[in-house]
Structure 1
Amino acid sequence: MNYTIHQLQIFLKVIQTRSITKASEELFMTQPAVSIQLKKFQDQFDIPLTEVIGRQLYVTDFGIEIGKIAEKVIQELENINYKTQAYEGLLTGRLNISSASTGKYVIPYFLSGFLEKNTGIDLVLDVTNKSRVIESLKNNETDFALVSVLPDKLDIEEELLIENKLYLFGNESRRRKDKALIYREEGSATRMAMEQYFDKHEGQQRKRMELTSNEAVKQAVIAGLGYSIMPLIGMKNELLNNELHLLPSRGLPIKTEWRLIWLKGKKMSPVSEYYLEFIRTEKQKIREEYFDWYLKY
Structure 2
Amino acid sequence: MINYTLKQLYSFEAVVRTKSFTRASKELFVTQPAVYMQIQQLTKNIGADLINTKGKTVTPTYIGKMFYQTCIDVIDTLEKSKLDIDQTLDPEAGHLQIAVATTTNSFVSHILAKFKKKYPRMSFYLDVTNRESLLKKLDNNEADLIIMGEPPTDMPLITQPFMENPLIAIAHPEHPLLKNQKNTIKNLTNETLITREQGSGTRITIERIIGMRLNSDIEINSNEAIIQAVQAGLGIGFVSKHTVKLELENNVIKQLDIDKFPITRHWYVVHHSKNKLSPIAERFKKFIVENS
Structure-2 residue corresponding to 1:191: 203
Matched to 2:83, the amino acid is I
Question: Are 2:150 and 1:149 equivalent residues in the alignment?
Answer: yes
Structure 2: distance between partners of 1:105 and 1:76? 39
Taking CA–CA contacts closer than 8 Å with sequence separation of 6 or more, which of the two structures ends up with the larger relative contact order? 2
Gaps of 5+ in 2: 1-72, 178-186
1:255-294 aligned at under 5 Å gives the runs 255-280=264-289, 282-283=290-291, 287=292
CA contact (8 A) 1:179 1:225 kept: no
| 1:214 positional shift | 1.0
1:181 aligns with 2:177: no
User: In the alignment, residue 235 of structure 1 is paired with which amino acid?
Assistant: V
Q: C-alpha separation between the residues in 2 aligned to 1:170 and 1:109?
A: 27
Question: RMSD over aligned Cα, in angstroms?
Answer: 2.9
TM-score, length of structure 2 as denominator length = 0.63
Displacement of 1:92 after TM fit? 2.1
Structure 1 residues 207 and 266, CA, compared in 2 at 3 Å: closer, same or farther? Answer: closer
TM-aligned CA distance change 1:112 to 1:192, over 3 Å: same
Percent of aligned positions with the same letter in both sequences?
29
Shift of 1:174: 3.7
TM-score by length of 1: 0.62
Tell me what 1:100 maps to.
Answer: 101
1:79-126, Cα deviation, whole Å (9 max, x unpaired): 63675899xx98221101111110101322322221112122111110
Q: Distance in 2 between matches of 1:152 and 1:76?
A: 41
Correspondence 1:230 to 2:231: no
CA shift for structure 1 position 161: 1.8
Pair 1:211-2:220 in alignment: yes
What do the CA deviations read for 1:244-266 (whole angstroms, capped 9, x no partner)?
Answer: 10011011111110010111142
Please give the per-residue CA displacement for 1:148-188, whole angstroms capped at 9, x wherever unaligned.
Answer: 11113111112222100011100125428654111111110
Aligned length: 207
Paired amino acid for 1:277:
K
Partner letter of residue 181 of structure 1? L
How big is the shift at 1:194?
2.9
Aligned 1:1-297 pairs, distance under 5 A: 77=80, 80=83, 83=86, 91-172=92-173, 174-175=176-177, 179-198=191-210, 200=211, 208-280=217-289, 282-283=290-291, 287=292
Deviation of 1:276 (Å): 2.4
Q: Using the alignment, how far apart are the partners of 2:257 and 2:77 within structure 1?
A: 53
Name the CA distance, whole Å, in 2 between partners of 1:133 and 1:98.
Answer: 7
Checking the alignment, whether the CA contact within 8 Å between 1:82 and 1:92 is kept in structure 2 is no
Q: Which moved more, 1:156-165 or 1:168-177?
A: 168-177
In the TM superposition, residue 195 of structure 1 has moved relative to its aligned partner by 2.8
Q: Which amino acid aligns with 1:192?
A: I
Distance 1:137 1:206, change over 3 A: closer
Gap change, CA 1:261 and 1:85, over 3 Å in 2: closer
Q: Say if 2:88 and 2:280, in contact at 8 Å, map to a contact too.
A: no
Counterpart of 2:235 in structure 1: which amino acid?
G
Taking the aligned partners of 2:203 and 2:85, their CA distance within structure 1 comes to 41
Contact kept in structure 2, 1:85 and 1:120, CA below 8 Å: no
Q: Quick one: which amino acid aligns to residue 195 of structure 1? A: E
Question: 1:197: Cα distance to partner?
Answer: 4.4
Secondary structure of the corresponding residue to residue 91 of structure 1: coil
Distance in structure 1 (CA, Å) of the matches to 2:110 and 2:79:
31
Structure of higher CA gyration radius: 2
User: Which residue type is aligned with residue 182 of structure 1?
Assistant: I
Q: Answer whether contact 2:91 2:280 (CA < 8 A) is retained.
A: no
Shift in CA distance, 74/138, structure 1 to aligned 2, threshold 3 Å: farther
